[in-house]
Amino acid sequence: MTQEHPGATSFKDRHGHTRWRYRRKHKTVSLPGAPGEPEFEEAYAAAVEGRERKVAEVRRHPSAALPRTFGAAWRLVLASPEWVRLDPSTRKHNVTLAENFLHDRVDPAFPDLWRDVPVADFRRRHMKLVLSRKASTPHTAKHQMTAIRRMLNAAMDEEWIEFDPTLRMNWRPPTTGFRAWTDEEIEAFEARWSPGTNARLVFALAVWLGNRRSDIANLRWDQRRKVRLTIDSMQQEVDVFDLRQMKGDKRLFVPVTPMLEEVLSASPVKGSTILTTAYGKPFSAKSLTGHMALWTKAAGLAPGCTIHGLRKTLGRFLAESDASTRQLMDVLGHDNIEHAELYSRDAQQIRLAHSGMAKVVTLRGRG
How confident is the model over 261-317, as pLDDT tens digits? 999 999 988 889 999 988 888 898 889 999 999 999 999 999 989 999 998 888 888
Domain shared by 147 and 219, yes or no: no
Same-domain check for residues 90 and 124: yes
193 in a structural domain: yes
- % of the chain surpassing 70 pLDDT: 89
Q: Which tens digits make up the pLDDT trace of 201-233?
A: 999 999 998 888 888 998 999 999 888 877 777
Number of structural domains (the chain) is: 3
Q: Do both 294 and 215 map to the same domain?
A: yes
Write out the residue range of the structural domain in which residue 106 sits: 70-157
Q: 275 lies in a domain? A: yes
Task: Give pLDDT, residue 171.
Answer: 67
- Cβ neighbors of 226 (< 8 A, separation 6 or more) are 237, 238, 239, 240
The verdict on 187 and 135 lying in the same domain is no
Same domain, 271 and 137: no
Q: Are 128 and 84 contained in the same domain?
A: yes
Q: Is 342 found in the same domain as 198?
A: yes
Domain boundary among 115, 139, 157: 157
Classify residue 54: in a domain, yes or no: no
For residues 222 and 333, membership in a common domain is answered with yes
Using an 8 Å Cβ cutoff, are 283 and 276 in contact?
yes
- Assigned domain for 170 exists: no
Cα 17 to its chain centre, rounded Å, is 56
In this structure, is residue 1 part of a structural domain?
A: no
| Same domain (yes/no): 76, 209 | no
The string over 197-228, giving b where at least 16 C-beta atoms fall within 10 Å of a residue's C-beta and e elsewhere, is: ebbbbbbbbbbbbbbbbbbbbbbeeeeeeeee
